[in-house]
Amino acid sequence: MSESVKTPGTPAKPATASEWLAAAIDIGATAIRMDLAEISSDGSIRTIESLRQGVPLGKDTFTQGTISQATIRECVKVLKGFRQVLQEYGITDPDRIRAVATSSVREAENRDTFLDRLYVATGINVRAIDEAEESRLTFMAVQNLVRTEPELKSGGALVVDVGGGSTELLLLENGHVTFSNSYRLGSLRMRQTLETHRAPTERVRTILGQHIQRMVEQIVRNVPAAGISTIVAMSGDARFAAAQLCPEGQEGPAARIDYKALGAFVEKLLPMTVEKLVSKYHITYQEAETAVPALLVDVQLARAFKVDRLMVPRASLRDGVLQEMALRGYWTPEFAGQVVYSAQALADKYNADRKHNRHVADVCLKLYDALKPEHQLSDRHRVLLEIAALLHEIGGFISSRSHHKHSMYLILHSDLFGLTREDMAIIALTARYHRRAAPKPTHEEYMALSRDDRIAVSKMSALLRVADALDRNHVQQATDLSFQKEADRFVIIVGNVEDLTIERLALKEKGGLFEEMYGMSVVLQEARIPAGGDPA
């Protein structure tokens, strides 16, 4: 049914009470892959079996725009086989099976029909993930490498995952994600484009090189080249090249490939037909179709950023899925820290007042924690509020007039590492409502949200307005805060400040939404100084 590879030295065995079995399924442009793993109570992961079966999803989507009935039947057959393997391992709980699909399914016009058919036929719930989630899973896959490799913990590194339909990029600076983006530059997409236009064989190399070069030039414009010393190549095609060029390095967490050696290897592959590649290197037909375009992308990126060596991890997108399953979710403090770091980098790009924004964010978090029983929002919303506070004034880069609306526009048209379009919409609207008009039914972007998200935006905007009012002068004097909840008042007690006149005026202007959402008026009060001289 499928190609099965067991990890050497790790035969399958029943999980103990402190261990549990899980499965990660990745439906890509050229194949459906499944990793079965044993997850320990401490979160460590041991892969016990990997399965792979080629499918022509990318060929369908990238040429016709839809997935054919024949391909749907083929995918159903593969997943039925995988389901049988899962049952043999006793993995039947849906919470222990995570299945994701990438660009070849995400972009298909009949995506929902395809996903519904898979679920009805196999009981496996496959989600078509967006580019932000793909970037997040890519980072999760290399997280352990970032912790252990000195060259990733300090300095700049570009993580590149060339898939069949898209290329995911993450820029790491001192171990933090400062930039992420997805580009419609995929190995199979390029191959299908050439075949559709019936490019002559002798011109394929030139056309392919020019197409990749144009995209690499766009990437270089987006990504600051200074300081990048390492490229981390995540694709299966890069692992194929590493196995050929440095077989002795396959046992560790990552192999290293010399840039010039990789370039010479690609030159060797370029004249070969797909059939010749399959015969010579004993790879599948699908792998042979994508190898040359994907490796050309890696070579041209290394040349553009003047990187001598490429690091090729053993990890894949499925490792990221398993990491999230081991952590029981992804909104961990470490992930939140990465997202906040990325948001600060975006704020700096637009020359926002870093001290003011950080102070407002800190006050927002204090208010959020103090009012948790009232707003009943999640830890995810806490992070989204912090980011909205960091970005609420970036619209001033365009104009100080109506800067709240400009902030919304810039956020909606930006990408932040790991955040979905829904997350970005919540952040953008929370920032938009930090001043002037409160949310209204006539506001198109606000009404496009779900009811729950609209309520969350209103609650978060109310907190952001209060926090911003407390720093009206941008001098961060209201730092020592405590809170008291009374029947119809929320009292903010400010220490070490003698005069709160400006803050009270600002709060009078901006406190209406808070009273509307929380049923309490906001009152500012200076900390009382007792006779002994210390605040009460």
Q: What is the CATH number of the domain that holds 515?
A: 1.10.3210.10
- How many CB atoms lie under 10 A from the CB of residue 274? 17
pLDDT confidence of residue 227: 78
Torsion region of 306: left, alpha or beta (phi above 0 gives left; psi -120 to 50 gives alpha): left
Number of domains in the chain: 3
Q: What is the CATH number of the domain that holds 9?
A: 3.30.420.40
Residue 448 lies in a domain: yes
CATH number assigned to the domain comprising residue 145: 3.30.420.150
Residue 169 to residues 128, 139, 220, 263, 362, Cα–Cα distance (Å): 19, 10, 11, 21, 30
Are residues 274 and 394 located together in one domain of the fold? no
User: Last residue of a domain, which of 82, 106, 129?
Assistant: 129
For residue 353, tell me if it sits in a domain.
yes
Residues 354 and 465 in one domain: yes
Instruction: Please check whether residue 124 is in contact with residue 99, taking contact to mean a CB–CB distance below 8 angstroms.
Output: yes
Asked whether residue 96 is assigned to any structural domain, the reply reads yes
Q: Is 358 in the same domain as 399?
A: yes
Let me know whether 149 and 44 are in one domain: no
Same domain, yes or no, for 305 and 374? no
Residue 8 lies inside a defined structural domain of this protein = yes
Which of 282, 280, 315 is CA-nearest to residue 3? 282
352 and 494 assigned to the same domain: yes
What is the predicted pLDDT for the residue at 422? 93
SS3 (DSSP) at 206: helix
Residues 138 and 123 in one domain: no
- The reply to whether 346 falls in a domain is yes
| Exposure class string for 6-17: b at 16+ Cβ within 10 A, else e | eeeeeeeeebee
In a domain, 188, yes or no: yes
Residues 6+ apart with CB under 8 A from 288: 274, 275, 277, 278, 281
348 plus 475 within the same structural domain: yes
Dig out the tokens for 429 from the structure.
């609207």
The bridge status of strand 156-162 relative to strand 167-173 is antiparallel
Distance separating alpha carbons of residues 141 and 325, to the nearest angstrom: 12
Cα–Cα nearest to 461, from 482, 443, 483: 443
51 assigned to some structural domain: yes
The residues, ordered by sequence, that sit 6+ positions from 222 with a Cβ below 8 Å of its Cβ are 179, 181
Same domain, 357 and 237: no
Would you say 212 and 190 are in contact if contact means Cβ atoms under 8 Å apart?
A: yes
Residue 14, pLDDT score: 47
User: d(Cα 340, Cα 382) in Å, to the nearest integer?
Assistant: 11
**In the sheet where 489-495 sits, what is the strand order?**
480-485, 489-495, 521-526
Q: How far apart are CA 204 and CA 250, in angstroms?
A: 32
Closest residue by Cα to residue 338 from 129, 127, 100, 147: 147
Q: Do 154 and 168 belong to one domain?
A: yes
Are residues 410 and 428 located together in one domain of the fold? yes
Can you give the residue range of the structural domain that contains 45?
3-129
C-beta of residue 161 within 8 angstroms of C-beta of residue 234: yes
pLDDT at position 190: 82
Q: What are phi and psi of 259, to 5 degrees?
A: -55, -45
Q: Which residues of 193-220 are buried (b: 16+ CB within 10 A; e: fewer)?
A: bbeeeeeeeeebeeebeebbeebbeebe
**Tens of pLDDT along the chain (536 residues)?**
344 443 333 334 445 557 899 999 999 999 999 999 999 988 899 999 999 999 999 999 999 999 999 999 999 999 999 999 999 999 999 999 999 999 999 999 999 999 999 999 999 999 999 988 999 999 999 988 988 888 888 889 999 999 999 999 999 988 899 888 888 888 888 877 666 656 566 666 677 788 888 888 888 888 866 679 999 999 999 999 999 998 775 567 899 999 999 999 999 998 898 999 999 999 989 889 899 999 999 999 999 999 999 999 999 999 999 999 998 888 888 889 999 999 999 999 999 999 999 999 999 999 999 999 999 999 999 999 999 999 999 999 999 999 999 999 999 999 899 898 999 999 999 999 999 999 999 999 999 999 999 999 999 999 999 999 999 999 999 999 999 999 899 999 999 988 899 999 999 999 999 999 999 999 999 986 554 555 54
Which residue, of 129, 161, 178, is where some domain finishes? 129
Q: Of the residues 282, 316, 350, which one is the last residue of a structural domain?
A: 316
Q: Are residues 72 and 173 in the same domain?
A: no
C-alpha–C-alpha distance, residues 339 and 178, integer Å = 9
Structure tokens at 389: 């506070």
Is the distance from CB of 266 to CB of 295 less than 8 angstroms? yes
At a CB cut-off of 8 Å and minimum separation 6, what does 317 contact? 26, 100, 102, 134, 137, 138, 141, 161
User: Element (H or E) spanning 33, and its range?
Assistant: strand 31-40
- 461, 430 in Cβ contact below 8 A? yes
Q: Is residue 412 part of a domain?
A: yes
